[in-house]
Amino acid sequence: FATLFSVSMDALFQEEWSEPIPRPKASPEINKSDEASHPYDIWDDSAARISAVSPGNRTLITTESGIQWERLAATTEKSVNFMEIVYEPGTESLELGALATHHGYEYAYCLEGEVEVVIGDLMLTLSKDHSIGFDSSIPHKFRNIGSVRFRGIWFTHWCDGPRNWKLIK
């Protein structure tokens, strides 16, 4: 599973994700008929400094174990990711006993369900309306211990992708 996780995360952090996706350009006068078909797909004329992406146009990665990463917005900044993460019941970020460590910081907010969070020697449960932030160089993993799916919003920065990740057993 660790290899599958690494491949999925490689796709998540690949450079193509950081490049702006061509979108209809916003104009001062909004065409109401076009607004219905593209209500939130907005890219400005200034090197894609603004990103507003409708649900049907988001990049989604799903692992065999049922974990999903959906990129909510993207800019040209390569060291930042803003995602919704879903863990189905019983799924975990890494194979049993393994922890990951990498550059960067992670911030998470739970929308629904519960996920067990292990960061170093600390074990806690992230549940609805709770949040956490941590230095990703501390060994960590996540596991859905509940009977319902976990949905959370994740923001990562200074994460340079899995090529510099280390798995610790």
Specify the pLDDT at position 10.
52
Phi-psi sector, 40: left (phi>0), alpha (psi -120 to 50), beta: alpha
Of 50 and 23, which is predicted with more confidence?
Answer: 50
| Domain ranges across the chain | 2-168
User: pLDDT of 91-128, one tens digit each?
Assistant: 998 877 788 888 889 999 999 999 999 999 999 999 99
Domain 2-168: give its CATH code. Answer: 2.60.120.10
> Which of 23, 19, 153, 10 lies closest to 78 in space, CA to CA?
19
